[in-house]
Chains A and B, each alone.
Chain A
Amino acid sequence: MRTLQRKSIEYRKTILRIIKAANAGHTAGSLSCIDILNVLYNYVMDITPQNFSSPQRDRYIQSKGHSVEALYVVLADKGFFPAAELDTLGRFRSHFVGHPTRKVPGIEHNTGALGHGLSVSVGLALGAKYRGSPHRVFTLLGDGELAEGSSWEALMAAGHYQLDNLVIIVDRNRLQITGSTEDVMGLEPLADKFAAFGCAVRSCDGNDVEALTQALEQLPFVRGKPNLLLAQTTKGKGVSFMEDVARWHHRVPADEEYAAALRELETAEMTL
């Protein structure tokens, strides 16, 4: 567990570094979901550079594509490409653009327009069932993203086809660009809505790697039902002045802010 916790801090530092260097990025959303990606890639999913062309590998679709920095950092750590390539983020002609694309090794699908990933994941999960393959399909959604009606069309299909090989994780940080999700377009009672659509719903602290590993230890949650994990997260997690502050959605830290953020993360690392 200590190793995973240490990784989360390292990942956060790299996320901030590449966003700072590119002078662009979705800072708070990446910090919000990095613990989820950490646990998925290092504990739960069977996806490696070695098996990436095997039909049996697990699949990961990041529907909240804007938090691409978190994904790039984890894929670099898994060895999908040399970490130095991260420094080209946002540069002219770099494949490391501000949303996931298949030009980057390890990425399954191009995302960035919200409300697409769940439908594609339903297709992948149906495909696995039809082919009799045991692999699972994981997808990460933003909570603000759930206002897109297509998400609910996909959920209806997931329940209808009893896709228990589909694992839907919602980064429930309660913020979107404009402010609180509940002020912008209320989602609650969210767990009840998912349950009503036929999902097996679990909730856990989405910034606690131990809680995440426990929640995802046993899949499916219930046979014959799509798995839905409400990951209760804090947007901007790990940097006190970014936590739960809407404007950090796509703000780049100024020099002093960057230095202060790194200090906080280094302190956290030392006290681990």
Chain B
Amino acid sequence: MIAPAIGRANLEVFADTVLELARQDPSIMVVTSDSRGSGKLVPFGEELPDQIIEMGIAEQNLVGVAAGLAMSGATVFAVSPACFLTARALEQIKNDVAYSDHPVKLIGISAGVSYGALGATHHSIHDFAALRAINNVGIVVPADNFETREAIRAALAHARPLYIRYGKKPMLDLHSPDTRFEIGEAIVIREGEDLTFIATGEPTGRALLAAQNLEADGISCRVISMHTVKPLDMEALLYAARHSSAIITVEEHSIYGGLGEACAAILLQHGICLPFKIVAIPDDYTVTGDQLEIFDHYGISAAGLSAAARDLLAKG
């Protein structure tokens, strides 16, 4: 059993990737809302000052302007903390980007509970739910550096509106560089028959660690990185449901309206009923602290997920 290596923060990988791409493609524009430092985009601004536009602390304007730039032929990355981008500017996302169908790449940085101790104003645990209910916007949540790089590259060619969100902490490397990445196509990180962890984003590494722990107890777990929350990879989900005895979904989001509920709805509508658990953030006064302390508190940890798996299999 090899422990995965620790990579960099997805935030940094995004910034490097978009700079690399923008050097070759002058149509790429990055738009920020006093967020270039938080987005690690200072080097981008220094090297390609004509390809970055500052809007000040005005997220609604940011998204509206991004739509206008996209209509003018630019390939636009609108970069702002996920909490403000998807709450403050929700109507701009709905009408100016999604409904009007301009392929803006909405980049939600420091997402989920990455801003842990800054409090709930800075958490985005509503964004999957809000955007899942808006037609014509995809949701991609990279779990590691590889997925981040590939998601940004894939976003360039993607003709529809897209929301990509990630956090600030260094991530475990989960994939080999020759792994295939397509938006809408889940990646099986590990095979197993007893239980499947379906995870998205930063908790995915923790699901993998849980699977490795459980292996020592003779419990064999499949781990799927469901990096695209919308559209969901139904095939991967149904295959997992038919080839394991239980499913646990894991996400850095509210228990409502996210990955877990999306999976449950699909399974039930396909007549599949199996032991199933959603591990996410409950509807409560969200605890504050470091992101990983919050994860541990809500069982989004190797220990918490291992316990949840044993529990679910025992009940099943």
Chain A positions within 8 Å of B, measured between CB atoms, are 22, 24, 65, 90-94, 97-99, 101, 110-115, 144-145, 147-149, 176-178, 184-185
Contact = CB atoms under 8 A, between A and B. Distances in A.
Contact of B58 (A22, A65, A149, A178): A149
A197 B260 CA distance: 48
A270 to B, nearest CB: 35
Contacts of B35: 177
A176 B289 CA distance: 25
Nearest to B58: A147
Given A92-B293, A99-B121, 12 more contacts: A24-B117, A65-B121, A90-B289, A91-B289, A98-B115, A99-B118, A113-B88, A147-B55, A147-B57, A148-B57, A149-B58, A185-B55
Interface string B153-195: 0000000000000000000000000000000000000000000
Contacts of A97: 117-119, 288
B58 A185 contact: yes
Contacts of B213: none
Contact of B117 (A90, A110, A148): A90
Given A98-B117, A98-B118, A147 B56 contact: yes
Nearest to A178: B34
A115 B33 CA distance: 13
Contacts, number: 85
21 contacts: A24-B117, A65-B121, A92-B289, A92-B290, A93-B287, A98-B122, A99-B122, A101-B120, A112-B118, A112-B121, A113-B83, A113-B84, A113-B121, A144-B56, A144-B57, A147-B56, A147-B61, A148-B57, A177-B34, A184-B34, A185-B56
A177 B41 CA distance: 13
Contacts of B119: 97-99, 101, 110, 112
Contacts of B36: 178
B221 to A, nearest CB: 29
Given A184-B54, A185-B56, A176 B121 contact: no
B58 A148 contact: yes
A103 B51 CA distance: 43
Contact of B57 (A92, A93, A98, A114): A114
Contacts of A185: 54-58
Contact of A176 (B57, B84, B117, B118): B57
Interface string B269-299: 0000000000000000001111001000100
B5 to A, nearest CB: 26
Those 8 A-B pairs whose CB atoms lie nearest each other, nearest first: A185-B56, A112-B121, A92-B289, A147-B56, A98-B118, A97-B119, A90-B117, A147-B58
A113 B35 CA distance: 14
Interface string B26-62: 0000001011111000000000000000111110110
A93 B288 contact: yes
Contacts of B120: 101, 110
Nearest to B54: A184
Contacts of B88: 113, 115
A111 B121 contact: yes
A177 to B, nearest CB: 5
Please indicate which of the listed interface residues B34, B115, B289, B293 has the most CB atoms of chain A within 10 Å of its own CB: B34
A176 B35 CA distance: 10
A99 B57 CA distance: 17
Interface in B83-97: 83-84, 87-88
A149 B57 CA distance: 9
A98 B87 CA distance: 19
A113 B80 CA distance: 13
Contacts of A115: 57, 88
A176 B60 CA distance: 18
Given A112-B119, A185-B56, A177 B38 contact: yes
Contacts of A114: 57
A158 B287 CA distance: 36
Nearest to A110: B121
A184 B32 CA distance: 10
